[in-house]
Amino acid sequence: MKQLDGYFVFPGKQQYVPVESIMNEQPIIINKNNSMFDALRLILEFRENDEVLCVDHNNNLQGILTINDFSKHLEKEELDTPLEKVMRTTLWTIDPKEDVRNARDLMIMKDIGRLPVVYNKEILGVLTTKNLLNSYYSDLEDLVKSTEIVFDAIHEGVCIIDKNEVVRYWNENAEKLYGVKAQDILEKKISDKFPNALLLEALRTEQPLRNKKHEPREGKIVNLSAIPIIIDGEVIGAISTDRDITEVEKLQSELKETKKKLQDLENVVKDSSKETSFSGIPTNNKAYSMALKMASKVANEKVTVLLTGETGVGKGLFAEAIHNESDRQNNPFIAVNCGAIPENLLESELFGYEEGSFTGSKKGGKPGKFELAESGTLFLDEIDSLSLDLQVKLLKSIEEMKVYRIGGTSPKKLDVRLIAATNNNLENMVKEGRFRKDLYYRINVVNIEIPPLRKRKEDIPALVKTFAKEFSKLHGKKVDKVEPQALESLVNYSWPGNVRELRNAIERIIVLNNDDAIEFEDLPQFVKEKNSYTPQQSESDDLKSLSKAIEETERATIKKTLKATKSRTEAAEILGIPRSTLYYKIKQLGLHLQDL
């Protein structure tokens, strides 16, 4: 038999047909270390194949995995499972010169649906039962008789009709696919059960149909191919192979959904990047606008920037916006809060260490934040928390653009843009001997002071709406309105914790709110007390007196502790508060070094 463009043409006598003449010459070959997801993606891309051949690094055949194997393994295995774990390793192969009849007999004997074609350990193709169907060379009666076992063994539904459209063959998989038993359709016209059967189109038009997808019944998706059968130039029937691709379609749908989620995530990342750029920081305040303009101007300059301002004003937001507006935006942005890391660990965090440099050090050592920020930006928040010894090492690294790991003897060259931030007055700290003058001058090339929220109250309404929208989406709420009295109270409050405190307050309101609007009663107690509309003046005065008493007690306690200790770090430990909190309290209470 020979195959002419999708038709079955049967000669009068059987003849030798080598396997290589009908095999699939483009099998899917994949390394066994790849994942099920990789293999499934290739099967979906090359729909003519429903199996992958798994090889080792020398391209030697190691196993096989079919689409049906995927369906079984996906019930208990993840898509990232290596093929080596799930592939079938019991294999039978065949020589490309072997007669297809011998290949057919081997497939029947071994009850398999495909044979890899191998010569001298080289994979030349794969022979499937579909190849046999598309090229079988006996007459119709012999075809039905000799292939009946094969048809029942394969995973496709098979139907054969004669020239009068009468069903002559209907295998078990056709029964499963269409829900019709063989005894209910054999020797009957196929149109009695399926008036619009695609097999009829192949018979009547004498044209082959390939890979037509349809849904014969709810929940079943089938890929059908049908071709006319020709003997001595006469069309005597047609044959179809129907493959159940329900699971493939399901997996493809899940893959599309996964791609959509990845795209959505990418959009979120892009939106997040926009939010941390200067265009994503709207303001109506003149001082804040000037700070933004200055930051935007220096974004592409390789100068050190010092951001100053109270805690919570958004110094980290400014630093990230500078990075995202610079030519380093696609490289790392590494942020370090110097005040949040214990002093004995800060050096190794910043500069890294070599293997064996101290007890407990990792094998191979560890890069510091400077190295991790290579070609990008390193943001050092609360830089005033650094000890004088660390300040020396930091200055040397900045000036030489080299870093020495702890325990290391050779420097590592750096290309890092440095942004520093503090909520303390570094100039006063220099005068007091708590911050090195040379380091101060080195990092204070461009000083950008960010105004506190109480000095830009005109921005509070927009910030409230932005945070309300953000947290409504996060917590599945729909709070899209702010009652005027509530908004006025939020604007009037002094917000000592600045934007950070406002943001946290709005999140609390959204979480506890069951309505679509923020009302005065929803506000935190400390905001309502500062905006009380009740006439209980005496209680308000008492509260102010109590607040004053607490402030005086804090001032006396902190002052006494500072006098009794050698450093602010030691004082913070005795008081049981972080160093950054102590610095904030000193500034808030108006304590000065000369008073101590």
Q: What is the CATH number of the domain that holds 511?
A: 1.10.8.60
Q: Is the pLDDT of residue 238 over 60?
A: yes
Q: How confident is the model at residue 44 (pLDDT cuts 50, 70, 90)?
A: confident
In 3-state terms, what secondary structure has residue 76? coil
Whether 485 is covered by a domain: the verdict is: yes
Q: Is the pLDDT of residue 423 over 50?
A: yes
Q: What is the pLDDT of residue 12?
A: 43
Choose one of 244, 267, 300: the last residue of a domain.
Answer: 244
CA distance linking residue 254 with residue 215, whole number of Å: 19
Q: Specify whether 358 is located in the same domain as 497.
A: no
Strands (E), 196-332: 209-217, 220-231, 234-244, 305-308
**Averaged pLDDT, 152-159:** 75
Q: What is the pLDDT of residues 378-409, one digit of tens each?
A: 999 999 999 999 999 999 999 999 998 888 88
Q: Is the pLDDT of residue 305 over 90?
A: yes
Whether 420 is covered by a domain: the verdict is: yes
Q: Specify whether 344 is located in the same domain as 305.
A: yes
Of 230, 194, 301, 313, residue with least CA distance to 11: 230
Q: What is the pLDDT of residue 474?
A: 85
Burial 484-519 (b: 16+ CB within 10 A, else e): eebbebbeebebebbbbbbbebbbebbeebeeeebe
Whether 366 is covered by a domain: the verdict is: yes
Q: Is the pLDDT of residue 268 over 60?
A: no
Q: What is the pLDDT of residue 1?
A: 34
Q: Residue 62's domain is classified under what CATH number?
A: 3.10.580.10
Q: What is the pLDDT of residue 446?
A: 94
Q: What is the pLDDT of residue 596?
A: 59
Look up the domain containing 319 and give its range: 276-451
Q: What is the pLDDT of residues 178-215, one digit of tens each?
A: 888 989 989 999 888 888 788 888 888 888 888 888 77
**Averaged pLDDT, 562-574:** 79
Euclidean distance between the first and the last CA atom of the chain, given in angstroms as a whole number? 106
Q: Specify whether 218 is located in the same domain as 295.
A: no
Count of structural domains within the chain: 5
Q: How confident is the model at residue 361 (pLDDT cuts 50, 70, 90)?
A: low
Q: How confident is the model at residue 539 (pLDDT cuts 50, 70, 90)?
A: very low
Q: Specify whether 161 is located in the same domain as 65.
A: no
Q: Specify whether 523 is located in the same domain as 554.
A: no
Q: What is the pLDDT of residue 536?
A: 38
Q: Specify whether 321 is located in the same domain as 382.
A: yes
Q: Specify whether 232 is located in the same domain as 327.
A: no
CB under 8 Å to 177, separation ≥6 — which residues? 157, 216, 220, 222, 242, 244
Residue in this structure with the two tokens 């507006």, named with its chain if needed: 325
Q: Is the pLDDT of residue 39 over 50?
A: yes
Provide the whole-model pTM: 0.48
Q: What is the pLDDT of residues 90-99, one digit of tens each?
A: 889 999 999 9
Q: What is the pLDDT of residues 84-128, one digit of tens each?
A: 999 999 889 999 999 988 998 898 898 888 899 999 989 999 998
Q: How confident is the model at residue 4 (pLDDT cuts 50, 70, 90)?
A: very low
Q: Specify whether 174 is located in the same domain as 283.
A: no
Residues of the chain above pLDDT 90, percent: 30
Q: Specify whether 388 is located in the same domain as 516.
A: no
CA distance linking residue 336 with residue 350, whole number of Å: 8
**Averaged pLDDT, 559-587:** 78
Amino acid identity, residue 256?
Answer: K
Q: Is the pLDDT of residue 422 over 90?
A: yes
Q: How confident is the model at residue 82 (pLDDT cuts 50, 70, 90)?
A: very high
Whether 1 is covered by a domain: the verdict is: no
Q: Is the pLDDT of residue 593 over 70?
A: no
Q: What is the pLDDT of residue 543?
A: 47
Q: Specify whether 516 is located in the same domain as 558.
A: no
Choose one of 244, 262, 286: the last residue of a domain.
Answer: 244
What residues are paired with 335 via a beta bridge?
379
Q: Is the pLDDT of residue 5 over 80?
A: no
Q: Specify whether 167 is located in the same domain as 63.
A: no
Q: Specify whether 285 is located in the same domain as 424.
A: yes
Sort residue 356 into left (φ over 0), alpha (ψ -120 to 50) or beta: left
Whether 270 is covered by a domain: the verdict is: no
Q: In what helix (H) or strand (E) does residue 191 lie, and over which residues does it extend?
A: helix 190-193
| Mean residue pLDDT across the chain | 83
CA distance linking residue 555 with residue 354, whole number of Å: 45
DSSP 485: H
